[in-house]
């Protein structure tokens, strides 16, 4: 009986108080899970708000950076354009100075030759004076001039020299130097007239190709691009072996750019890069091609 009582107490149904405690524990666990979910949802919502704020701030920073970059790009383009204009002017002045130096060297060579000739002449005169010679014959009297019927006013005999026609305004050296000086002084109209006179009277001299080139430079500096293009073409066609040919072809490309003929300009500038490698004209042509967004080759 005692064993039966013990077995019944072990294997019988649990008391009602134990079941209630299990239910309460399960309810507490469910409440904790629900509270954890709520906390997690709150944290996710807060993180999303923070991320949205960070994204908006990043977008604002990117927009401000884009605006700053656009302003810097515009400033750089303006500076590049102004620098290019100044470089063109300085290049023309340097070329003018180089031509002046070459002209001075040529003049010095001529003066040296003249001094040598004068020295030789003086030596010949000294040698003649030092050596005895035959007595000189008396000079014959000059023929009398023909007079007018009244016998007072002399007249030019028939067949005498006729008055000479109007010649060039100045010598080649003076005319060329004056024209270069007027370019540097920005007296463009006067420089154009002087270079045109040089080509008219001295078109077969060594500096004729230079004069023709500077006619194009004067027109280019006055934004007369078609006139400049015609002048550069004359250099290329009439003086193909001149050292100004490379500069003329480069400037021709620049004129075509200004005239809106992009395809022809690209073709001409690429030719300068190909035909005159390593020169300043090739470097400037390559830079212009990059500025236009075209490839060098």
Mean pLDDT for the stretch of residues 177-196:
96
pLDDT at 119 over 70: no
pLDDT at 142 over 80: no
pLDDT at 14 over 80: no
pLDDT at 35 over 70: yes
pLDDT at 229 over 70: yes
Cβ burial of 254 (10 Å; 0-12, 13-18, 19+) is: buried
pLDDT at site 145: 38
What is the DSSP track for 106-131? HHHHHHHHHHHHHHHHHHHHHHHHHS
pLDDT at site 159: 38
pLDDT at 141 over 60: no
pLDDT at site 99: 74
pLDDT at 173 over 90: yes
Where residue 133 falls among pLDDT bands split at 50, 70, 90?
very low
Neighbours of 182 (CB within 10 A): 19
Mean pLDDT check: name the lowest of 163-177, 198-212, 280-294: 163-177
Helix axes 262-275 and 280-292, enclosed angle (nearest 10): 150
The predicted-structure confidence for 238-286, as pLDDT tens digits, reads as follows 999 999 999 999 999 999 999 999 999 999 999 999 999 999 999 999 9
pLDDT at site 132: 45
Contact present, 292 and 265 (Cβ < 8 Å): yes
Q: What does the mean pLDDT of the chain come to?
A: 79
pLDDT at 60 over 60: yes
CA distances from 50 to 13, 58, 61, 63 (A): 56, 12, 16, 20
Mean pLDDT check: name the lowest of 46-55, 189-198, 234-243: 46-55
| Higher per-residue pLDDT: 4 or 21 | 21
pLDDT at site 216: 97
pLDDT at site 164: 40
| Higher per-residue pLDDT: 75 or 40 | 40
pLDDT at site 8: 59
* Rounded distance between C-alpha atoms, residue 140 and residue 74, angstroms: 88
| Higher per-residue pLDDT: 259 or 37 | 259
pLDDT at site 106: 61
Mean pLDDT for the stretch of residues 87-91:
70
pLDDT at site 233: 97
| Higher per-residue pLDDT: 190 or 119 | 190
What percentage of the chain carries pLDDT values higher than 90?
42
The two counts, helices (H) then strands (E), for the chain are 9, 0
């Amino acid at each position: 009986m005692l064993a039966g009582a013990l077995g019944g107490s072990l294997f019988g149904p649990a008391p009602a108080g134990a079941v209630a405690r299990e239910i309460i524990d399960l309810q507490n666990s469910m409440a904790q899970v629900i509270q954890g979910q709520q906390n997690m949802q709150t944290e996710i919502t807060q993180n999303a708000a923070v991320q949205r704020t960070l994204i908006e701030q990043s977008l604002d920073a990117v927009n401000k950076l884009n605006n700053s970059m656009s302003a810097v790009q515009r400033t750089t383009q303006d500076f590049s354009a102004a620098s290019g204009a100044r470089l063109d002017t300085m290049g023309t002045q340097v070329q003018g100075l180089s031509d002046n130096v070459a002209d001075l060297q040529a003049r010095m060579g001529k003066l040296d030759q003249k001094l040598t000739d004068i020295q030789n002449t003086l030596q010949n005169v000294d040698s003649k004076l030092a050596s005895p010679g035959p007595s000189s014959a008396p000079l014959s009297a000059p023929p009398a001039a023909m007079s007018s019927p009244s016998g007072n006013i002399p007249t030019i005999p028939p067949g005498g020299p006729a008055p000479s026609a109007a010649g060039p305004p100045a010598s080649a050296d003076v005319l060329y130097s004056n024209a270069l000086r007027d370019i540097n002084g920005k007296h463009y109209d006067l420089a154009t007239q002087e270079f045109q006179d040089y080509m008219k009277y001295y078109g077969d001299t060594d500096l004729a190709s230079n004069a023709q080139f500077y006619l194009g430079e004067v027109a280019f500096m006055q934004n007369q691009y078609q006139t400049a293009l015609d002048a550069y073409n004359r250099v290329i066609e009439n003086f193909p072996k001149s050292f100004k040919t490379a500069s003329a072809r480069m400037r021709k490309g620049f004129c075509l750019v200004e005239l809106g003929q992009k395809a022809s300009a690209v073709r001409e500038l690429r030719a300068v890069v190909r035909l005159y490698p390593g020169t300043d004209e090739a470097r400037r042509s390559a830079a212009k091609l990059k500025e236009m967004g075209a490839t060098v080759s």
